[in-house]
Chain A
Amino acid sequence: MAKSPKILFVDDDRDFLAAQVAFFGGRGYEVVTLDRVDGALERISQERPDIIVLDLMMEHYDSGFLLGRRIRQDPAMIAVPIVMLSGVASATGHKFGAEAAALKDWIKLDAFLDKPVTGRQLLKVVEEKLGEKATVAVAG
């Protein structure tokens, strides 16, 4: 049996994180959660997750964006899929519909989901991204 994939969540809602630990843990994932941006970059490079789920707005409206971009600047992390959650899309006035493409390009983002998201929706995207990654890895 293959090694269980490691999924890393960065979100400031601890209840959401606890639910993800149970939900993804119950499905054979190794789940790591970070509840703040501070020190997240270091933890991420230590943990070397297979996929990252990042909440857009934590302490500041742009914390998620900046963290996403900085993860991408680490050569070791360049291929790790990043799924961005945007529970605050409408709150901050960001128009993801129109700008999603540019934004995805800026962070090299892999997927964008609106909160509140169900575990099933998230799982579907995560499996998809991990599958693509595996394909790329095999092809590479």
Chain B
Amino acid sequence: MTSILVIDDEYGVRSGISQILELEGYAVEVAATGREALALLDARPFDIALIDYQLPDLDGLTLLASMRSRKLGTMTCMITAYANIDTAIAATRQGIDFFLPKPFSPDDLLGVIETLSRHKQLKEEAEKLRKENEANLRALATEKSQTSSLVASLRDAVLVINREREVVLANHAMSALLGREPEDLVRAPVDEVLGAAPLSGLAALLSAQDHEGGDEERKLAELTIGDRIFFASVVAFHGEQGGALGRILTLADVTDMRRMAMEKPRFIRTMVHEFRSPLGAIRSLIEVATEKSLGADLAPYLPFLERADKRIDKMVELIGELLSLSRIDLERTANAADPPADIAAAVAATMDLYQAKLAARKIVASVEIASGLPQARIGDDDLKTILSNLVGNAIKYGREDGSLRLCVALREGKLQIEVADSGIGIRTENLPQLFHEFFREKRSETRDIDGNGLGLAIVKRLVERVGGQIEVESTLGVGSLFRVSLCPA
């Protein structure tokens, strides 16, 4: 029901008007002053307000201005006996919708009210449409920007061509792959863009004709660009009338996947060997006893059984390290809940652990830790594993009566841990494989040193998964230096 507020200081006028309107079924309220009117308008919405130009407290224009600033959406009609052009202009400026000059007949009044309610209705519908439209446009803009950000950020390289075989879209990955700016690619003929080998095969893939109704057809190929292997896929997209509007080429870099697929059998073969050799030795050692090769007495067999026992210990150790490797690979990123490590404390704990081994090999250890270092962004346990591997290696591959130097300092915003030994060193040609699983240098100097070749592989993974780096410098016969750089917490 349309609600109307009648504002007039003359009792006769306002009650006359309200009677006429109520008879016609309108909901009417009355106000005698401007302030009374504003109070009512603040309390509830009105569709229409009939305003007398002359009010005792406020003039009609001031009231209109107050209403306008309140953004009520109420349609307004000025009732005045003194209509002149200046008043009209002023009132129009304040957003008046209609004028009703006094005196007026009930029909005049009802006609005005009818006009105003229709206007109000239209205005509301228009507003509703505008809002809907705006929401749609916003949604559309969001969707479009989402789609283009999505395409832009794809790791796969994407190239879209139109029916004229011109590039209409190339994402960052594609422009990087082609070595051209994305803007430079748009509108370029695809045969020019993919002209040279090894990409020329893709142009052919893009121009191959679709089969009849082959909407779902997808063409696949594999190609090598530089040292990377890519999986190429071409799909056509169709308009409402059918027929291809263009084609989308996607190139996925599958190098790492392939590499992993190739690494796996190699890893398993090496692992099998690492288990088979000690098993063979253990079997032979036990067989000496089971075959009673040394007579009926038990005593001569004990050294053989002890040897077997030691080999079993080594195998158990190997299993433990293999499990930590696979756990690190599974976790991928370090546990965020791990408290950041205090390097100084971890270094002290590690050096403590190796006191006996250092003494046994008469290695003099020196530890230098810069003061006021921040905590490191790595779990305490992981840091201890790293330190213990590096210090353990420095002792194992160090020389008797030699030295071990462990330094921790903040350099270029990174926490650097250096472990240096004065040991047998590493051959330059072996440095690239040093961090590979199971890699061990086979030299006469290393054959009596225990190890399964997993320690440094574990260290590297632990360091890299927290965004750190590990480097090694070594001089054969002089010694090695391992440098781990970690981010401060």
Contact = CB atoms under 8 A, between A and B. Distances in A.
A and B pair up: yes
Interface of A: 12-13, 15-16, 18-20, 22-23, 25-27, 36, 38, 59-60, 87-88, 90-91, 93, 115-120
Contact of A120 (B273, B291, B294): B291
A119 B288 CA distance: 8
B283 A116 contact: yes
A116 B288 contact: no
A12 B281 CA distance: 11
A91 B273 contact: yes
A41 B49 CA distance: 118
B450 to A, nearest CB: 12
B279 A116 contact: yes
B2 to A, nearest CB: 92
A91 B277 CA distance: 11
Contacts of A120: 287, 291
B452 to A, nearest CB: 14
Nearest to B289: A22
Nearest to B308: A15
Given A22-B294, A26-B293, A90 B269 contact: yes
Contact of A22 (B283, B293, B308, B444): B293
B273 A26 contact: no
A26 B304 CA distance: 14
A91 B276 CA distance: 10
Interface of B: 269-270, 272-273, 276-277, 279-285, 287-288, 291-295, 300, 304, 307-308, 311, 442-444, 447
21 contacts: A12-B447, A13-B277, A15-B281, A15-B284, A18-B285, A18-B304, A19-B287, A22-B293, A22-B294, A22-B300, A22-B304, A26-B288, A59-B442, A87-B273, A87-B276, A87-B277, A91-B269, A91-B272, A116-B284, A119-B287, A120-B287
Contact of A26 (B272, B277, B291, B308): B291
| Max count, chain B CB within 10 A of own CB: residue among A16, A18, A25 | A16
Nearest to B286: A19
B322 to A, nearest CB: 16
A50 B295 CA distance: 25
Interface SS majority for chain A: loop
Nearest to B443: A59
Nearest to B310: A15
Contact of B284 (A27, A36, A119): A119
| Max count, chain B CB within 10 A of own CB: residue among A20, A23, A93, A117 | A23
| Max count, chain A CB within 10 A of own CB: residue among B269, B277, B287, B444 | B277
Given A19-B304, A23-B288, A116 B276 contact: yes
Given A22-B300, A117-B280, 5 more contacts: A15-B307, A19-B288, A22-B288, A91-B272, A116-B283
Contacts of B444: 36, 38, 59
A13 B269 contact: no
A20 B273 contact: no
B281 A13 contact: yes
Nearest to B287: A119
Contacts of A13: 277, 280-281
A90 B273 contact: yes
A13 B311 CA distance: 11
Q: Which 7 A-B pairs have the closest CB atoms?
A: A26-B293, A116-B280, A19-B284, A91-B273, A15-B281, A22-B288, A115-B280
A116 B284 CA distance: 8
Nearest to A58: B442
Contact of A118 (B276, B287, B292, B311): B287
Contacts of B308: 15
A38 B442 CA distance: 13
A16 B291 contact: no
Nearest to A63: B442
Given A90-B269, A90-B272, A91-B270, A19 B291 contact: no
